[in-house]
A and B are shown apart, each in its own frame.
Chain A
């Protein structure tokens, strides 16, 4: 087999594969970056640990709360004693550092649900996958190159062996 043919075939395969890999990577990045716009706070929120049943329980609780005059006495009899209201915390003057810390915490908390606030996060995340896919491509390209070199060396060895047999 002609090494030149192997190399050209390998090069054609690389040229054929590269657009697909680049397209897949681009599609992934777009999916990630655009996809965070699907995660709007107004979308259906379901708690991670609770079943759908709580919505009925909440409805039941709302219905019970909407009729306070109906059974206040029975509520007092059946319900456990209400906990004493905790005393209001004493007012204190916050220092500038504490105010800055509270503001930073509030800003970070707001990022959790913002549609566009954490776009940089998703861009960084997409770059991670871009590097992974480039690593895969580079590995495949190196393996294909090694295969070509192996065939070349084997061909030369066969030529030397054939020359030695002919000389004998």
Chain B
């Protein structure tokens, strides 16, 4: 826990620095104008959202195969972190779309599949939050995560396969690439720190529950 303030503060300050670069260093994009600067955080958030859900699915599969509680804790933590970045994607996207497309939302392939992916893992998280601690529920939600993660492929190919309006295969100037990769780097650090924190928290909760049961047996 001692490293938490250091790396988390580094990532937070790094994200602030990336925002400064996005506003002061990068020139304005010709077609979208000022609102295009959201892109430098919208795209990394989307990638990290995918990463969170992939980690959740892999950890869920390992839990189903081995039955070890720590894999389940990792799956739940990864889903929470993936949902956090998913919220960033699904809120910054409409803010950008309002100015770029003139509407907050369009039922075009990428947006629709992304919303579906988010809802699947939101269902996973709600099941785990309100469904109780039973073993059966954990396995049910693990199966949901394993079958929900392949939707990421549909989100990725949605624009090319179904001719959506969402921007795809964008060519960037060197300054834009610098800012994009800087933002991605610091957001990856934030992702790792958040995942580690949630994972430790879930493991501590289980350990605490087990020790309390033992304490109550010994006290009785």
Listed in ascending order, the chain A residues whose CB lies under 8 Å from chain B are 13, 17, 20-21, 24, 27-28, 31-32, 35-36, 38-39, 41, 43-49, 104-105, 108, 111-113, 115, 118, 121, 124-125, 128-129, 131-133, 135-136, 139-140, 142-144, 146-147, 149-150, 153-154, 156-157, 160
Contacts and interface: CB of A to CB of B under 8 A. Distances in A.
Contact of A149 (B36, B98, B208): B208
A150 B30 contact: no
A39 B34 contact: yes
Given A17-B5, A43-B28, A157-B218, A143 B34 contact: no
A112 B214 contact: no
Interface in B113-158: none
A44 B95 CA distance: 24
Contacts of A133: 12
Contact of B171 (A27, A49, A113, A144): A49
B212 interface: yes
B208 A150 contact: yes
A31 B41 CA distance: 14
B211 A31 contact: no
Contacts of B207: 150
Contacts of A135: 84
A157 B213 CA distance: 11
A141 to B, nearest CB: 10
Nearest to B25: A38
B192 interface: no
A59 B34 CA distance: 27
